[in-house]
């Protein structure tokens, strides 16, 4: 029986996969998450691993409860699916980075103390950036550096808050809602950056579209959902998160409707869908927290499937803009079908996992007497259906055909996508499979006549509006400015200005130095020429080293003297 830390299994598997040859690497990519899953199943709630550390502190590497267990389950499941999707990759570095990334996510989920929490939190950031850089383009390198800088900022804010907590004698990860001290706001700010809460969200839509085809599947699954886990664990019921989440849900949808790049469009929907989860945390009721957990679980499945489908299209066609795509349903029917499953799942269609999870948060808002939040979340849900199930689906697969001949998609990619679609439908038709493992005590019945009819009516009405307005919704090849403009442009000017200033200082210093050298070098070339001369003495035009240098005996005597003094000092002292 395997009873080990699942995250450490993935980390070890990632290291071994990176240094192993082709077939063995593929075996490890499947074996590592499979063993992690077996280990998780064998971990009982209440299990704790503690390691003694300095100053009477313990590092709690593993603390299992219902919340950590359910997040660990979906993280391991999506790692197995994503590793299958990536089996054709020949880059060992990507295998290592992706599994270290997944292992870091599990490390955060199981961390029982703040130091372990921040350790795996930083592993998460460092490992994930390589999934962007390994794309190997100028855009991916630049986006990766910006991604890393933003996450280092968030990590430092989080670390500062953690130091304050440990200094106050609170080393364990616990609920901070209601404390409102400096540590509270520092930790919340650090987590908010990873959760992509506007205006701190643009790193996501900047970086995720530039990742590798397979790497973006992992990116869509872990960072923001680890942040959601942290918000549920640390900040349940924080009112500021309710309206932050509502803004996220609407903000992401609006930008997704405008977007042309298929992976950037999906990235904006990460912002929007995480908004539902953040709003649930802000509501803070048992049902709302279960809703946030369930929607994170469902989101990982359908969002990874959406990114796998988009990656399959990019792999087969080499194109990623809606204005360059169209009519692919006839040429890639299986990919089109699997994308459709994910698109209807994210839209909350009945018989999909999105239907059983997204509505929990909206219902929780209604039960808690928050009609404005309920209405705005409904509008965001309609926008999701419009921008993905209709707009993205139509213009990528069913729109005007273009002169595109896609290449064959590797079998492992199709298998992984099929597995993702299977789970999206499985949880949709059997919601108890998910509801029974949720961490909080709350009862919810998704399949009521009222809920099914109202959701179906909304989707039909949205479809009719889309069909009428198709010409108006056609994407144009333009770039949408986002909040990253406010730090990318000014910081670029500041950076280049600083570089120019340093270069100017260097140039002027070099000029002064060269001027001084020109004046002093002649002296070193012939020092006696510059020595004071008496009237009777004839100036010596050339330095004669045989005449002016110290006798070698003097040098030897001085060296021996220093040696004797040093030895005496060591011996006597």
Report CA-CA distances (Å) from 277 to 30, 121, 186, 248, 296. 30, 20, 21, 10, 7
Burial of 392 from C-beta contacts in 10 A (0-12 / 13-18 / 19+) = buried
Q: Give the up-direction half-sphere exposure of residue 539: CA atoms within 13 A in the CB hemisphere.
A: 8
Burial letters 123-152, b for 16+ CB under 10 A, else e: bbbbbbbbbbbbbeeeebeebbebbbebbe
How much is the CA Rg of the chain, to the nearest whole Å?
Answer: 31
- State the pLDDT at residue 518: 79
Task: For 334-380, list the strands marked E by DSSP.
Answer: none
CA dihedral 401, 407, 408, 410 (to 10 degrees): -120
Nearest CA to 108 out of 72, 76, 83 is that of 72
- State the pLDDT at residue 36: 96
Please give the model's pTM, rounded to 2 decimal places. 0.85
- State the pLDDT at residue 477: 62
Question: What CA–CA distance (Å, rounded) separates 176 from 188?
Answer: 9
Rounded to 5 degrees, what angle do the CA atoms 199, 204, 210 make? 145
- State the pLDDT at residue 499: 84
Nearest CA to 175 out of 115, 113, 236, 118 is that of 236
Report CA-CA distances (Å) from 56 to 17, 49, 52, 108, 168. 37, 16, 7, 22, 14
Say which residues have a Cβ less than 8 Å from residue 414's Cβ, sequence separation at least 6: 312, 334, 335, 338
- Bridge partners (DSSP) of residue 62 are 49
Say which residues have a Cβ less than 8 Å from residue 263's Cβ, sequence separation at least 6: 208, 209, 216, 307, 310, 314, 320
Judge contact between 105 and 228, C-beta under 8 A.
Answer: no
Question: What CA–CA distance (Å, rounded) separates 290 from 435?
Answer: 8
Phi, psi of 123 (to 5 degrees): -60, -40
- State the pLDDT at residue 474: 65
Rounded to 5 degrees, what angle do the CA atoms 313, 132, 134 make? 90
Question: What CA–CA distance (Å, rounded) separates 233 from 111?
Answer: 11
Average pLDDT, 10 consecutive residues per value, the chain (573 residues): 84 94 93 96 91 87 95 97 94 94 96 95 95 93 90 94 93 92 95 91 90 94 96 95 94 88 92 95 95 96 96 93 88 94 93 93 92 92 89 87 88 96 96 95 90 88 82 66 69 79 87 82 64 53 61 77 82 68
* Angle (deg, nearest 10), helices 138-167 and 182-195: 160
Question: What CA–CA distance (Å, rounded) separates 267 from 258?
Answer: 13
Question: What CA–CA distance (Å, rounded) separates 558 from 165?
Answer: 60
CA dihedral 300, 303, 308, 313 (to 10 degrees): 180
Q: Give the up-direction half-sphere exposure of residue 118: CA atoms within 13 A in the CB hemisphere.
A: 19
């Amino acid at each position: 029986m395997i009873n080990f830390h699942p995250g450490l299994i993935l980390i070890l598997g990632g290291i071994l996969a990176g240094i192993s040859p082709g077939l063995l690497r593929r075996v490890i990519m499947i074996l590592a998450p499979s063993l992690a899953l077996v280990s998780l199943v064998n971990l009982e709630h209440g299990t704790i691993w503690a390691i003694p550390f300095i100053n009477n502190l313990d590092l709690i590497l593993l603390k299992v409860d219902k919340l950590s267990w359910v997040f660990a389950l979906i993280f391991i499941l999506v790692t197995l699916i994503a590793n299958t999707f990536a089996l054709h990759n020949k880059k060992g570095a990507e295998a290592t980075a992706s599994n270290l990334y997944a292992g870091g996510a599990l490390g955060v989920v199981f961390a029982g103390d703040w130091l372990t929490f921040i350790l795996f939190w930083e592993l998460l950031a460092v490992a994930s950036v390589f999934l962007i850089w390994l794309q190997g383009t100028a855009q991916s390198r630049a986006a990766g550096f910006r991604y890393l800088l933003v996450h280092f900022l968030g990590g430092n804010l989080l670390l500062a808050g953690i130091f304050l907590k440990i200094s106050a004698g609170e080393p364990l990860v616990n609920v901070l809602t209601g404390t409102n001290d400096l540590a509270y706001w520092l930790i919340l700010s650090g987590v908010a950056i990873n959760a992509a809460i506007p205006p701190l969200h643009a790193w996501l839509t900047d970086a995720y579209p530039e990742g590798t085809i397979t790497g973006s599947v992992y990116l869509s699954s872990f960072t923001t959902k680890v942040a959601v886990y942290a918000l549920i664990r640390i900040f349940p019921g924080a009112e500021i998160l309710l309206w932050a989440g509502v803004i996220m849900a609407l903000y992401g949808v609006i930008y997704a409707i405008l977007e042309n790049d298929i992976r950037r469009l999906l990235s904006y929907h990460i912002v929007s869908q995480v908004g539902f989860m953040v709003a649930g945390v802000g509501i803070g009721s048992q049902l709302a927290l279960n809703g946030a957990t369930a929607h994170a679980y469902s989101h990982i499945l359908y969002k990874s499937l959406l990114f796998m489908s988009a990656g399959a299209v990019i792999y087969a066609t080499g194109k990623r803009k809606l204005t360059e795509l169209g009519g692919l349903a006839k040429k890639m029917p299986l990919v089109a079908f699997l994308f459709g499953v994910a698109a209807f799942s994210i839209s909350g269609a009945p018989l999909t996992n999105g239907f059983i999870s997204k509505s929990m948060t909206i219902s929780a808002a209604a039960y808690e007497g928050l009609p404005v939040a309920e209405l705005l979340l409904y509008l965001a849900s309609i926008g999701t259906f419009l921008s993905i199930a209709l707009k993205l689906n139509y213009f990528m697969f069913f729109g005007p055909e273009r002169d595109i001949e896609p290449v064959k998609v590797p079998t492992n990619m199709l298998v992984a996508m099929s597995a993702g679609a299977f789970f999206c439908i499985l949880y949709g038709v059997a919601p108890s499979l998910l509801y029974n493992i949720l961490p909080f005590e709350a009862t919810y019945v998704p399949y009521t006549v009222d809920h099914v009819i109202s959701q179906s009516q909304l989707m039909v009405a949205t479809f009719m509006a889309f069909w009428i307005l198709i010409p108006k919704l056609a994407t144009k090849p333009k770039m949408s400015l986002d909040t990253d403009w406010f730090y990318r442009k000014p910081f670029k000017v500041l950076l280049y200005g600083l570089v120019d200033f340093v270069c100017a200082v260097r140039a002027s210093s070099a000029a002064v130095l060269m001027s001084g050298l020109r004046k002093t070098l002649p002296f070193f070339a012939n020092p006696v020429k510059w020595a004071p001369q008496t009237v009777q003495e004839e100036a010596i035009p050339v330095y004669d080293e045989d005449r002016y240098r110290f006798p070698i005996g003097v040098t030897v005597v001085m060296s021996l003297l220093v040696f004797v003094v040093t030895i005496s000092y060591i011996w006597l002292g």
